[in-house]
A and B are shown apart, each in its own frame.
Chain A
């Protein structure tokens, strides 16, 4: 069964703090993991991808992957009000002819000035 689970939130953090977003998945065959950010009324945009166990850093964002625990997380350092959005975790699944993504329902983050 394909499942990607996220805490729906809302998660509120003060400006300048670290926001920690978590995601678990059920398909042990998954190989690729993505974090998308979605502002209200807008479409998702990719912010991070990770394929290997460990950490991957890009500016203020760090993605962490633990395949043994089937867990992926996103840390946002020095959170800014502009980071307030819904963050979607996506995991690849292999279906006929393509590698598709299965999305969690998202975690809503609010950064309080």
Chain B
């Protein structure tokens, strides 16, 4: 079974704090993704990575950065958290770059920024 884990299920931070969200997959997948999910807006892609040390912007990268130093780990960084970054953050991974590949999701981190 594919397993994608995220470091926290719930996180509360204050405005201006630096926030790290960690994601680890154990299936040697090439691709990893970070999404945020908000009511009425669905899943929106923040950043993705298709190889170690590679990163590409998704649809809403502003205010975020990412790091992929090892194949199994993909980190999302909020340099200076703001209240509009309160959201559910979902990490996903997929095996290759084929269009048929399924994305497998982690359990999500619900981040609240006060």
The 9 closest A-B pairs by CB, nearest first: A105-B42, A103-B43, A43-B105, A99-B99, A97-B50, A92-B99, A98-B50, A32-B99, A31-B99
Interchain CB contact under 8 A, B45 and A100? yes
A-B interface pairs (CB < 8 A), number: 60
**Residues of B in contact with A (beta carbons under 8 Å apart):** 31, 33, 40-43, 45, 48, 50-51, 54, 56, 58, 90, 97-108
Residues of chain B with a CB closer than 8 A to A34's CB:
102-103
Q: Which of B31, B102, B104, B107 contacts A98 (CB 8 A)?
A: B31
Contact A42 B107, CB 8 Å, known A32-B100, A95-B56, A105-B40: yes
Provide the main secondary structure of the chain A interface: strand
Instruction: Verify if A49 is at the interface (C-beta below 8 Å from B).
Output: yes
Which residue of A88, A98, A102 is within 8 Å of B56 (Cβ)? A98
Which residues of chain B have C-beta atoms less than 8 A from A51's C-beta? Answer: 100
Taking a contact as CB atoms closer than 8 A, the residue among A43, A105, A106 that contacts B107 in the complex is: A43
Across-interface contacts of B58 in A (CB, < 8 A): 100
